[in-house]
Amino acid sequence: MGLRKFTTLFLIVFVIYYSNAQLDSLVQIEQSPRVNIQLNEVELISENKDHYFVSGNSNGTATIIINDEAQDFEFVNGKAAFASDIDFKGRLLFIKANEKVTGKLYHVSSSKKGIPRVRHIPLWLSILPPLIAIGLALIFKEVIISLFIGIWSGAFIAGGMRFGSVYYFFDSIFSVVYKYIIAALTDSSHISIIVFSLLIGGMVAIISKNGGMAGVVKSLSKYARSERSAQFITWVLGVAIFFDDYANTLIVGNTMRSVTDKFKISREKLAYIVDSTAAPVSSVAFITTWIGAELSYIADATAGLPGFDASYTPYTVFISSLKYSFYPILTLIFILLVIYLKKDFGPMLKAERRSRTTGQVSPASNKSEDEPDMEDLSPLKNATPHWSNAVLPVLAVILLTMFGLMDTGMSSMYDSLVEAGSRPASSAWSDIWPMIGSLLGSEDASFFLKMGKIIGASDSYVALLWASFAGVALAIILSVGKRIMTLFETMHWMTTGFKTMLPALIILTLAWSLAIITSDELHTADYLTSILEGNVSPYVMPLITFILAAFIAFSTGSSWSTMAILYPIVIPTTWAICQSQGLDTDVSYELIFNVISIVLAASVVGDHCSPISDTTILSSLASDCNHIDHVRTQLPYALTVGVISLLIGTLSTLLGGGWFICLLLIVISVVVLYFILQIFGKRAVVD
Domain presence at residue 559: yes
Residues 445 and 299 in one domain: yes
Alpha-carbon distance 528 to 195, whole Å? 34
Query: Domain span at residue 47?
Result: 3-121
Q: Identify the DSSP state of 24.
A: T
CA distance to 175, 176, 264, per residue, from 163 (Å): 16, 17, 52
Residue 227 is predicted with a pLDDT of: 87
Q: Are residues 87 and 214 in the same domain?
A: no
Of 92, 121, 150, the one marking the end of a domain is: 121
**How far is 586 from 664, CA to CA, in rounded Å?**
20
In this prediction, residue 367 carries a pLDDT of: 39
pLDDT computed for residue 424 by the predictor: 87
Query: Which of the given ranges, 280-289, 454-463, 533-542, 623-632, has the highest pLDDT on average?
Result: 623-632
Spell out the residues 6+ positions from residue 141 whose beta carbon is closer than 8 angstroms to its own: 370, 626, 628, 629
Give a yes or no: residue 129 inside a domain.
no
Q: What 3-state DSSP class applies to 32?
A: coil
pLDDT over 90 (residue 131)? no
Phi, psi of 98 (to 5 degrees): -160, 175
Residue 487 and residue 587 in one domain:
yes
Section 554-579 average pLDDT: 76
Q: How far apart are CA 323 and CA 659, in angstroms?
A: 6
Is 537 part of a structural domain of the chain? Answer: yes
- pLDDT tier for residue 530 given thresholds of 50, 70 and 90: low
Q: What is the pLDDT of residue 57?
A: 64
Q: What is the pLDDT of residue 30?
A: 36
pLDDT at 637 over 90: yes
630: phi then psi, degrees, rounded to nearest 5? -65, -45
DSSP 180: I
DSSP single-letter state for residue 670: H
Pair (509, 622) in one structural domain: yes
Instruction: Please tell me whether residues 484 and 598 are part of one structural domain.
Output: yes
Question: What is the reported pLDDT for 371?
Answer: 42
The confidence score (pLDDT) of residue 12 equals 40
Domain boundary among 88, 121, 154: 121
Q: Which range (97-111, 458-472, 590-604) has the least confidence?
A: 97-111
Residue 520 burial (10 A CB sphere; 0-12, 13-18, 19+): middle
Same domain assignment for residues 523 and 615 = yes
For residues 102 and 240, state if they share a domain: no
Residues 357 and 478 occupy one common structural domain: yes
Within 10 angstroms of residue 3's Cβ, the number of other Cβ atoms is 7
Write the burial class of residue 230 (CB in 10 Å: 0-12 exposed, 13-18 middle, 19+ buried): buried
Overall size of the chain counted in residues? 687
Task: Report the b/e string of 369-403 with b at 16+ CB within 10 A.
Answer: eebeeeeebebeeebebbbebbbbbbebbbebbbe
Residue 158 maps to a domain: no
Q: Are residues 112 and 236 in the same domain?
A: no
- Asked if residue 142 is part of any domain, the answer here is no
pLDDT recorded at residue 3:
47
Looking at residue 347, its pLDDT comes to 92
pLDDT at position 368, please? 36
pLDDT of 627 above 70: yes
Mean pLDDT for all residues in the chain: 79
Is the pLDDT at 402 greater than 70, yes or no?
yes
**DSSP three-state, residue 95:** strand
Other CB atoms within 10 A of residue 282 CB: 24
Residue 200 CA to residue 254 CA, distance in Å, equals: 9
DSSP letter, residue 476: H
pLDDT at residue 510 in the model:
84
pLDDT band at 10 (very low <50, low <70, confident <90, very high): very low
Q: How much is the pLDDT for 17?
A: 35
End of a domain among 121, 156, 176?
121
Q: Which helix (H) or strand (E) holds 427?
A: none
Look at residue 28 and tell me whether its pLDDT is greater than 80: no
Residue 363 has pLDDT above 90, yes or no: no
What local confidence, expressed as pLDDT, does residue 472 receive?
92
pLDDT score at 541: 85
Q: Which of 28-42, 94-108, 493-507 has the lowest mean pLDDT?
A: 28-42
| Residues 212, 380 contacting (CB under 8 angstroms) | no
| 63 and 196 belong to one structural domain | no
Residue 622 is predicted with a pLDDT of: 82
Alpha helices in 285-387 (DSSP H): 291-302, 314-321, 326-341, 347-358
CB 546 within 8 A of CB 596: no
Give the separation between CA 374 and CA 308, rounded to whole angstroms: 55
Spatial strand order in the sheet of 104-110: 69-75, 60-66, 91-96, 104-110, 116-121
Q: What percent of the chain has pLDDT over 70?
A: 81
Give ∠ CA 543-544-545 in degrees, rounded to 5: 90
Strand pairing partners for 561? none
CB atoms within 10 A of CB 218: 15
Higher pLDDT, 378 or 185: 185
- Per the domain annotation, does 362 fall within a domain? yes
pLDDT: which is higher, 6 or 207: 207
Q: Quick check: is 174 in a domain?
A: no
* Whether pLDDT at 286 is above 80: no
- Are the beta carbons of 622 and 274 closer than 8 angstroms? yes
Question: Are 197 and 115 members of one domain?
Answer: no
Pairing of strands 60-66, 69-75: antiparallel
The C-alpha R_g of the chain, in whole angstroms, comes to: 29
Tens-digit pLDDT profile for residues 292-305: 567 667 777 777 67
- Amino acid letter for position 80: A
Q: Rounded distance, CA 75 to CA 56, Å?
A: 7
Q: Say how many domains are in the chain.
A: 2
- Residue 9 pLDDT > 50: no
pLDDT of 604 higher than 80: yes
Establish if 227 belongs to a structural domain.
yes
More confident residue, 27 or 182: 182
587 and 478 belong to one structural domain = yes
- pLDDT over 90 percentage in the chain: 16
Strand partners, 72: 63
Taking residues 446-461, what's their average pLDDT? Answer: 77
Confidence of residue 15 (pLDDT cuts 50, 70, 90): very low
What pLDDT is recorded for position 664? Answer: 94
- pLDDT at 19 (0 to 100): 35
Burial class for 413, CB neighbours closer than 10 Å (0-12, 13-18, 19+): buried
